[in-house]
Amino acid sequence: MTLSDLVLPAIGGVLIGTAATVLLMMNGRVAGISGIVGGLLTEQKGQRGWLGSFLGGLLLGGVAMYLVRPSAFTVEYAPSLPLAIVAGLIVGVGTQLGNGCTSGHGVCGISRFSTRSIVATITFIATGAITVALMRSLR
């Protein structure tokens, strides 16, 4: 790990922050992915347009990056299939209960200096770290 290994992550981060800014300035919305997915799954009048457009852009952006930079999708770590399903269920429930995930709390909320988001982010990094440590000791 050298300093240059941090340049691309930082540039990616700036793009993420810029994307969140576009959505806030233009649409007045928070770029929280778990909230956007939830919004699309709930009947909300007049919201379907921007929600669907954002998600469409997100999926298409993935396709574009997969074409130009497939190495960005390398999977060197993967849990077993049943464990992946359990993790997905846990993430789905947790993000709804806690009103956000890495994007909504970790980027957007922290940028607005929201106490809730700062506490949420510290909490999920802490339980994530404990989980990784436990998983490693079980292997």
Smallest distance, another protein to C-beta of residue 60, A: 6
If one asks whether residue 138 binds another protein (CB under 8 A), the answer comes out as no
Smallest distance, another protein to C-beta of residue 50, A: 4
Contacts of another protein in 49-88 (CB under 8 A): 49-66, 69-70, 72-81, 83-88
Question: Read out DSSP for 56-76?
Answer: HHHHHHHHHHHHH-GGGG--S
Q: What is the dihedral of CA 118, 120, 121, 122, to 10 degrees?
A: 80
Near another protein by CB under 8 A: residue from 28, 45, 138, 139: 28
Smallest distance, another protein to C-beta of residue 67, A: 9
Residue with token string 């060197």: 76
